[in-house]
Amino acid sequence: MTNPYAPPQAAVLDVLDPQASAVLADRGTRLGAALLDGIILVVMVYLPIFLMAAGASGENGSSAGIALGGLATLVGLGAWIWLTVRYVLANGQSIGKKITGIKVTRTDGSRASLGRIFWLRNVVNGLISIIPLYGLIDPLFIFADSRQCLHDKIADTIVINA
């Protein structure tokens, strides 16, 4: 006989915690991705500027060479922006993160939006970087158990293996 005063019972399936299956990215992998992003940016954007300036400073520097260097810089910048936005929209990855197999997600395991990554992880963090020593302190937070730098905490994100 059932008890009419018993609380209602329901069969509930276990819900998977999205963060339980996520493995935080190694600190070294994150460093490697950041270094790769920097190298790629230098090669795609700054190298053409440097070559243009070197060509313009010589005696044979022509306006055509300067224009070609400027065009190469714009093409490189456009390609870098296109690739970065494409990878961030697809999977929360920069070019370096894509190569190293890691990605940015929210701390609850949900997808991090392009706006959150761009505005909170980059723009707000860049503005705060005006504060002396912040640029040193921000990455040192990666040595906490959560492996979150300050910019991760600001944006409520984590970096996991893709």
Residue numbers of the domain that contains 125: 27-161
pLDDT of residue 151: 96
- Domain total of the chain: 1
Structural domain includes residue 67: yes
- What is the pTM (predicted TM-score) of this model? 0.82
Helix (H) or strand (E) holding 161: strand 157-161
Structural domain includes residue 147: yes
Sequence-distant (6+) residues with CB within 8 A of 152 are 121, 141, 158, 159
Structural domain includes residue 57: yes
Structural domain includes residue 45: yes
Instruction: For 30-44, write each residue's pLDDT tens digit.
Output: 999 999 999 999 999
pLDDT of residue 41: 96
pLDDT of residue 8: 84
Q: What is the mean pLDDT of residues 148-155?
A: 96
Question: Distance between CA atoms of 14 and 148, rounded to whole angstroms?
Answer: 28
Is pLDDT of 101 > 60?
A: yes
Structural domain includes residue 4: no
Q: What is the mean pLDDT of residues 41-52?
A: 90
